[in-house]
Amino acid sequence: MNEELIKYLAEHITENRNELFDKVLLDRTKYLTVVLEDIYQPHNASAVLRSCDCFGVQDVHIIENRNKYSVNPDVALGSSKWLNMHRYSSQDNNTREALQQLKAQGYRIVATSPHTNDVELYDFDISKGKTAVVFGTELTGISDIVKEEADEFLRIPMYGFTESFNISVSAALVLQHLAHQIRTANVNWQLTDEDKAEIKLNWLRATVKSAPLIEKEFFKRRISDQ
């Protein structure tokens, strides 16, 4: 049924727009995902979303402990509507639940932090399996729970006096490199046909004016044709 609904909704956008959706879907991935823990500055949060969209990362996992994640539309430039946003906010501390859910989905947890057992970004082996990269708060970095749950630690090499990058810069650097790596490694990084259909349907719903009314008309026609 989804395929028929997608085709019906696609009739309400231009052919060029529909072709662009299909083209972008070919470069989307869930093999690599991003986890944001307790980010509180809207411009940083929004810049990370923009980078995820630009580098084809479809899923963003947002952990809200003390800070509620908010998006600055002037920075995100609409990127949030093209992404799958997974929020974890039901408990006082949601970090462990989020990371354990990702592990259950087959992701290895890779924390970005200077650490005694870390791996430099350019030495990181993306072919070892699906990867969830965790970025921590602007001031204190990743929490102790992330350190406990992490399978690996990733470090961006630096050569100056400053100890760390801004989180949005860190995310952009890491995603640019890993997004290139998955496309050159021998890994199955592309979306399944089922994922593509689900995402395209969401994009159409976010794009087509009066999409709920059009869907209602679609189902009404299906019933009358039966």
Domain match, 8 and 39 both: no
DSSP E strands in 136-177: the ranges are 152-155
- Token pair of 125 as six digits: 């082996």
pLDDT score at 75: 52
SS3 140: coil
Sole residue written with tokens 């963003």: 60
Neighbouring residues of 34: CB distance < 8 A, sequence distance ≥ 6: 48, 52, 57, 59, 60, 61, 132, 133, 135, 171, 175
pLDDT score at 173: 96
pLDDT score at 119: 92
- Which residues does the annotation place in the binding site for S-adenosyl-L-methionine? 112, 156
pLDDT score at 218: 87
- In the chain, the number of structural domains is 2
Average pLDDT over residues 128-151: 90
Average pLDDT over residues 112-124: 84
3-state helix, strand, coil in the chain (%, to 5): 50, 15, 35
Domain match, 66 and 167 both: yes
Reported as a single tens digit per residue, the pLDDT across 155-186 is 998 888 887 788 899 999 999 999 999 999 99
- Partnered with residue 88 across adjacent β-strands are 63
Tell whether 214 is covered by a domain: yes
- Which residues does the annotation place in the binding site? 112, 156
Higher pLDDT, 147 or 39: 147
Domain match, 203 and 105 both: no
- pLDDT category at 78 given cuts 50, 70, 90 is low
Task: Name the residue among 200, 217, 224, 225 with its Cα closest to residue 13.
Answer: 200
- Token pair of 219 as six digits: 């189902």
Tell whether 17 is covered by a domain: yes
Tell whether 52 is covered by a domain: yes
Q: In percent, how much of the chain has pLDDT > 90?
A: 65
Domain match, 118 and 73 both: yes
Domain match, 166 and 222 both: no
pLDDT score at 92: 79
pTM of the model: 0.90
Domain match, 155 and 182 both: yes
Tell whether 194 is covered by a domain: no
Domain match, 150 and 112 both: yes
Report the CATH number that the domain containing residue 46 is assigned in CATH. Answer: 3.40.1280.10
Tell whether 133 is covered by a domain: yes
* Dist. CA 1–CA 123, nearest whole Å: 45
Domain match, 130 and 154 both: yes
pLDDT score at 194: 96
Domain match, 43 and 119 both: yes
Phi-psi map region of 38: left, alpha, beta (phi>0 left; psi -120 to 50 alpha): left
Domain match, 41 and 1 both: no
Domain match, 203 and 111 both: no
Q: In percent, how much of the chain has pLDDT > 70?
A: 92
Domain match, 218 and 116 both: no
Reported as a single tens digit per residue, the pLDDT across 177-215 is 999 999 999 999 999 999 999 999 999 999 999 899 999
Tell whether 63 is covered by a domain: yes
Question: 109: burial class by Cβ within 10 Å (0-12, 13-18, 19+)?
Answer: buried
Cα separation values, 182 from 7, 31, 50, 71, 163, Å: 31, 8, 19, 28, 28
Q: Could you tell me the residue range of the domain that residue 1 belongs to?
A: 1-28+199-226
